[in-house]
Structure 1
Amino acid sequence: MALEPHVWTKYSTSGNNCVEVMLTDTEVIVRNSNHPDAGTLSFTHAEWDSHTQGQKLGVFDLPG
């Protein structure tokens, strides 16, 4: 799935545990969709690319 610029995209794999991600011109912003006013995390495009590449390689997988 590709992010659409300036639109919150919701992602969930387990019911009510959802995150929302938004792409801007300079960063990627992440928030808890159940508590959107609680604050956000922001990442540069380079940081986000590095993170998503690590995800694809399994770097962040929990121990089995």
Structure 2
Amino acid sequence: MTLKFDVWTKFSGGGDNCVEVMRTADEVLVRNSNRPEEAPQRFTYSEWDFFTRGTKLGVFDL
């Protein structure tokens, strides 16, 4: 899935626990959908790329 610019995209594994992600011109923002008023976590494109590649490889699996 490709993230759209300046639009929050919601991801849910089921239940009420959802994460929203948004792509801006210089970074990727991540927030808790249940607390949209709180400041989002900010990641550079390089950080986000590293994280998503690691996730696909199972690096963060428990």
TM-score normalized with structure 1 length:
0.92
Find the aligned partners of 1:39 and 1:4 in 2 and give their Cα distance.
20
Q: CA deviation at 1:15?
A: 1.2
Partner of 2:46: 46
Whether 2:28 is the aligned partner of 1:22: answer: no
What is the CA deviation profile of residues 6-28 of structure 1, one whole-angstrom value per residue up to 9, with x for unaligned ones?
10000001211000000001000
Runs of 4+ displaced beyond 2 Å:
none
**What residue ranges of structure 2 are gaps of 5+ in the alignment?**
none
Find the aligned partners of 1:5 and 1:42 in 2 and give their Cα distance.
15
Q: Percent identity?
A: 60
Query: Which letter does structure 1 place at the counterpart of 2:35?
Result: H
Structural RMSD (CA): 0.6
Find the aligned partners of 1:26 and 1:34 in 2 and give their Cα distance.
25
Q: CA deviation at 1:36?
A: 0.6
Between the two proteins, the alignment pairs up a number of residues equal to 62
